Structure 1
Amino acid sequence: MEDLGSRIGRALRRERESAGISISELARRAGISKATVSQLENGTGNPSVETLWALGDALSIPFAVLVDQQAHAPTLIRADELDGVPSAAAPYSATLLSASPPGARRDLYVIRSEPGEPRRSMPHHNGTTEHVILMTGAAHIGPADSPVKLSPGDYLSYAGDAPHVFEALEPGTSAVLISELR
């Protein structure tokens, strides 16, 4: 599974090269340092939403292009990997998990499930991606042939146009599910 930093780096390099501009020129246009652009392209930076927005503006592309994921590549973000824990100095934190691509339709669900028979889903419409944030309990979720065990706060995206499963492992398991159709 490709992490968000690598995905941003790959997209940034692709869009910069497609625009035919250097790292230095992109940095100048976006008002950020050349080192920051270089780190982001190498997948080692930790950009803010504002930095990504400035880069998108400088490249004349929508913000979502820099964070969009490949249609069938699962993305897993563990709750303990999220940056920006609120504190007295910064009482609010927001972490983008997935940007909606242009023209997508998203349906939002709250799932409540108990241990027992797993919920097995057949493929939805071609181009469907599901996004899940586990809120309580524990569950095996994702592709039917390789579900991932999630804990509270973990995020997973996977192809919804392939067989997939949701199996509660603890009583009172709940999740937020977003079904996205491109």
Structure 2
Amino acid sequence: MNSIQTQIAENLKNIRKLRGYSYDQLAQLTGVSKGMLSQIEKGESSPTVNTLWKIANGLQVSFSSLVEEKEPTVTVVRLHEKTAVTENDEQLQVYPYFPFDSSKKFEVYFLELMPGCVHESERHHGSVEEYILVCDGEATISIQDVKYVLKKGDSMRFQASQSHTYANLTDQKTSFYLLMYYS
């Protein structure tokens, strides 16, 4: 984790460069001297709260956008490090991989269905699409009483506002990724 001073330096530099501002332009907008702005960006000065508010107001950004740590550019999710949410006496195991993020409008899960598992999913309100990508085994997806059999490598998408069921009607474990997109 970066120190707050380093984080402020990186965030200020990124915002300034993204907008194409020189130090002179930034100083004019914020009321903070270009020397101080340069020192902050280089991590040589730790700005006061008052100085940060001047910068935030001048740039018309939130205070937190200057101090918050940015999301990593790479995130690795390992199944063995996740805890499953289970149902039907552990016949259904749901691993949350990427939780819902309002800026991205989707979430990703990894599901395992044990042999004989049938799970009736609740209808989702609003405009939600589900995308299923089968990794192993065979999944039978029923949407309003129409059955679709998906095997390893198959995928599908559908409006999740309809009644739908996931089933493994085989004698081997089935696994698939489920992406839910909120348009």
**TM-score, normalization by structure 1:** 0.41
Normalised by the length of structure 2, the TM-score is 0.41
Higher strand share: 2
Q: Comparing both chains, which one has the higher relative contact order based on Cα–Cα distances under 8 Å and sequence gaps of 6 or more?
A: 1
Highest Rg: 1 or 2? Answer: 2
